[in-house]
Structure 1
Amino acid sequence: MSAQTAQGQARQILDMNAYRPGDGQSRPVERRLANLGAASVLFYRQPIEMVGAEGAWMIAKDGTRYLDFYNNVPSVGHSHPRVVEAVSRQIAQLNTNTRYIVSVVDDYLEALKALLPPELSNVMMTCSGSEANDLAIRVARAATGGTGIIVTETAYHGNTALVTEVSPSALKRGSLPETVIAIPPPGAAHFGEDIAGGFRASVEAALAEFGRRGIRPAAFLADSIFSSDGILADPPGFLAPVVEAVRAAGGLFIADEVQPGFGRTGDAFWGYERHGVTPDIVTMGKPMGNGFPMAAMVARPDHLEQFCADVGYFNTFGGNPVAAAAGHAVLDVIREEGLQENARETGAHLLAGLRQVAEGDARVTDVRGAGLFIGIDLAEETGRPDPAFTVQLIDAMRAHKVLIGAAGRYGATLKVRPPLCLTREEAERFVEAFRAALAG
């Protein structure tokens, strides 16, 4: 499929709201570009130099405080003291790899497993969601004997060589390999009122295409809130028929919980739980350590055994004691501070406020989401997605001291994902900044 469509120009995920050479260079920007070169990715046409953060706020070098509605990594709040203390204590005591038995590691793994289906009892710790998804694909292929992977059209699952192949939104040129098929995301724009039926039909068409290519399916890989596709959460349950179809064809369901996991949707701890399904493999990352780099793949023992029969796996830093300490602190904070409940309640208040603003502005065509993960669609008068206006609005929000990013095939959806500790007052501040930005 061509990147150019009747609706507009598809956009590569890392290009959304990014600095571009020629936008003007300060000395810190010049320094970064000299160090990273073409691989450098900076937010905003005029990048911000940050020096601190706390809770839902980030602090720039010039003293400006920004309300952070973009970054889902510090999920329980920037610089949370419980996580800081746990990491500091453990790194002062011991940090090593999983070839040694260190109780803090198994304490964490058991706490994490208690939140997952009992049949998913083996956890492989990694350092990034990319590594976790890479491993998940390899395990799925070993367990099924198939190679075919189904993803959605604007999916992003990471940046290893293997995972880039199943991340259409990461591709700047070229096409997906023969073993990967991208289907339309599960939204009303593609399937009308029957999202569950239409989405299943698309998966079945992909499975049939694999059959014509002589390729056995290995897995359907999905971020269960479809964040890169524009945040598509409802109706709850639409994933169940898809998972049923994939399994009937011999494939597995890999739930990528890097974005929706750890209570963000409010309704459930994991995004897939909103759909009443049990994945075959679960991957997770960023929010696990609240900024400390850690991730994991969780699988059934028989699937992992089939993979390990052919190749071993070891990750030097994956599952280190400091990561385990950070991860355990995050779980404790989510439970003790009621952050899943806060995501549900504050998220509902935020959603209602945004929908009220949308009623008065035809350029806001939809506001949807679950908990503290919301998508806001922006369009021209014709109804076509308006990425240019989206960039203008993002810059205007920055002027109102709020950080926000874009998502979706055309980069015309605001991606709203603040820390789970967000207060009602902070949610209202965002709504007022959004209203003011629309007013110009």
Structure 2
Amino acid sequence: MSIDTTASATGDAITRERVKQRHFKLPVTLAVGTALVWLMAFVFGRDGISTYRLGDRTSSIDLGDVGIPTAATVTACAIALALLTAYAFWAVATFRKVGMWVPIVFAILAVFAFLTWSAADGLVPVTGLLFGAVSLSVPLVFGALGGVIGERAGVVNVAIEAQFLFAAFSSAVIASMTGSVLLGLVAAMVAGALVGSVLAVFSIKYLVEQVIIGVVLNVLIIGLTSFLHGALLTPNSEALNSPPRFPRLPIPFLSDIPILGPVVFNQTLIVYIMYVAVPLVAWGLYKTRWGLRLRAVGEHPQAADTVGIKVNPTRFWNVLLAGAIAGIGGAYFTLGSVGSFDKEMTGGLGFIALAAVIFGGWDPVRATLAALLFGFATNLETLLTNLGSPIPSEFMAMLPYVVTLLAVVGFAGQVKAPAASGKPYIKG
């Protein structure tokens, strides 16, 4: 036997040994999804034509509408999903690694089948669906980035919801008083950092359980902003709760690209900041001294301390940075979306952002993709309601949270948090 053949066999053995610990969570999740699509295809089948509108009134290029047969399309998707599920079961049973392409392709086909089934003799505006998904994902992306930075530093940030809410309140008040959306954005970042500072002080200096202090902060900020909304903003809505909004800034030529142009390149300043923030955080986390120290204090603080890194100060300032980034997401509610502050307007999105952190494996890029998935699910709920889907409205309201549970429980695989996340560091 040649050396190359021996090395190849050894490599295969190592690979199979590595995946022996994999279980059937992903294949079982795929099987459940496949069963649901098969029900749509063969039990609750719908006839007609599902129309997808590919054009957009803001684009100079109109691709028109595309109609496809509902029953045949859903049936074809159901068969393809069954094949993917069978492959996943075979791969796990034979100790082979299931590639990331499997859940990605599965999710695309399942969503396409679901949309086609729901849109029988109806119209799906593709550009509008994607634009709404991006818009709803913006606060989730900023919250997820803040969560990644905080947990990579060793502090579990359950208070993303509080940072969203306090930032939204602060940005509305400051922007209303000054008439400046930029000052409102700065106020939101300061508000998010303030909530982060309380979290950091209690969890790092006073060693309070991080999850508990996060929950307390959520309750505190919800109560505080609700009180101030009724006592201060409602009687003075013109002066304190009528902030200007960021205008859309279309990028010439790029915004005219069919389908994706209006979605990606006809957005507000906060969305463009998001485009820069995601790669910047990813680059900083893995390619800079800041990122190396951040990961060191979150993975092995004792080792970081021995080489001269000040563990607790590093954690403190990074939790503040994480809060400021999450605050930008809070500003989007009032300065980019709604245009005014309302009590509890964040609607639990801080917890979905935290789920995106877990689903993304504490990686900024993958957490962003998870946030986009959850934003898409939220917008899909609105679209399906408008299409008159036969699914009960109560279930439609649950859709974003059901997708969150499926993603974290079924598709996330065996994710591992930073080793020292949630653990206080006591020097010596």
Structure ID, larger Rg = 2
| Fold in common (TM above 0.5) | no
Q: TM-score, normalised by structure 2?
A: 0.25
Quick one: higher RCO (CA 8 Å, sep 6+), 1 or 2?
Answer: 2
Q: TM-score, normalised by structure 1?
A: 0.24
Higher helix share: 2
Higher strand share: 1
